[in-house]
Every structure is written in structure tokens, then in C-alpha cells.
């Protein structure tokens, strides 16, 4: 695989699956904590791949850092991290009142992922050489254990 879109979309789908499974279990169960931990760790890793590996390349090549897609993505990442932490605290404390945060996080991520998959990831696949794309994928895969 030498497609940024394919790799990142697969990770979105993997994370969405974990989040959906989490939504179907008793929030006070051990299974809920295990699923949410896997989800939180995976989502944080995914965000790090974008912010530390992909975004700098986009910004360097386009000269567009303080405005444009990556600026919007970083802002949304901050909101996602806040919601993720709020949900984490509630899950860890066995709080059954998680639905509003869970739904908000799901909504934000659905919109966010759609933007990435329609604007940002295609840019990488269309604008970079095969060698550059492979180098980015190699860097992502070596930065932490890839899914």
C-alpha cells in the first residue's frame, strides 16, 4: 500500500469500529474500559501521525500553516482531545451519564474525518511522488506500532 488515503481511511474505520463496539457495552463494565482505552490510545496515535508527520509536509509544500486545512484540523483536534478526556474520566469513574459527550465526540469525528478524507489525504496522494508517500507511510508505521 502506497496510499496515504487508504492507510489513514483504514485507521479511521478501525477506530470507528472500536467506538461503535464501546457504545454497545455496559459503560460500567471492564469491557467498556478496555474498549475505550484502546480507542483513546488509537485516536491519540492517529492525531499524532497527522500533526507530527503529515501536517508538516503539507504545510512545507503549500506554505499554508496558519490558515487552511491543517489549521482547521488542529483546532478540531483540540476539541476532540477535550471531549476524549472528558469521556475517559467518566468511563474510568463508572459514570453512566456519557451519552451527550459520546454523541458529540462521534459527531465531531464524523465531520472531521470526512474533511480529511475529501481534502487533506487526497492532496498527499495527488501531490507527492510515490517515494515521498512511501517515506511518510514508513515514518508513520515506525513511529509506533501501526494497526
Output the domain CATH number for residue 78.
1.20.120.520
Residue 144 backbone zone (phi > 0: left; psi -120 to 50: alpha; other: beta): beta
> 4-23 and 99-115 helices cross at what angle (nearest 10)?
170
Going by C-alpha positions, the residue among 45, 27, 22 that lies closest to residue 90 is: 27
Under 8 Å between Cβ of 36 and 88: yes
Give the angle subtended at the CA of 84 by the CAs of 80 and 87, to the nearest 5°.
140
What is the pTM for the complete model shown?
0.92
Q: Is the pLDDT of residue 68 over 90?
A: no
- Domain span holding position 130: 4-143
Cell of 23: 457504545
Q: How many domains does the chain have?
A: 1
- What whole-number distance in Å separates Cα of residue 135 and Cα of residue 126? 15
pLDDT, tens only, 82-130: 999 999 999 988 878 888 999 999 999 999 999 999 999 999 999 999 9
- Binning pLDDT at 50, 70 and 90, where does residue 1 land? low
Amino acid at each position: 500500500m502506497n496510499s496515504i488515503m487508504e492507510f489513514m481511511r483504514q485507521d479511521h474505520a478501525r477506530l470507528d469500529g472500536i467506538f461503535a463496539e464501546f457504545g454497545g457495552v455496559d459503560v460500567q463494565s471492564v469491557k467498556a474500559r478496555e474498549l475505550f482505552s484502546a480507542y483513546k490510545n488509537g485516536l491519540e496515535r492517529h492525531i499524532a501521525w497527522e500533526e507530527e508527520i503529515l501536517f508538516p509536509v503539507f504545510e512545507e509544500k503549500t506554505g499554508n500553516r496558519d490558515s487552511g486545512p491543517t489549521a482547521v484540523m488542529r483546532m478540531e483536534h483540540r476539541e476532540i482531545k477535550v471531549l476524549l478526556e472528558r469521556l475517559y474520566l467518566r468511563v474510568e469513574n463508572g459514570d453512566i451519564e456519557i451519552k451527550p459527550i459520546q454523541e458529540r465526540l462521534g459527531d465531531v469525528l464524523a465531520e472531521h474525518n470526512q474533511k480529511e478524507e475529501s481534502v487533506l489525504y487526497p492532496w498527499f496522494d495527488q501531490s507527492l511522488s510515490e517515494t515521498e508517500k512511501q517515506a511518510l507511510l514508513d515514518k508513520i508505521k515506525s513511529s509506533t506500532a501501526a494497526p
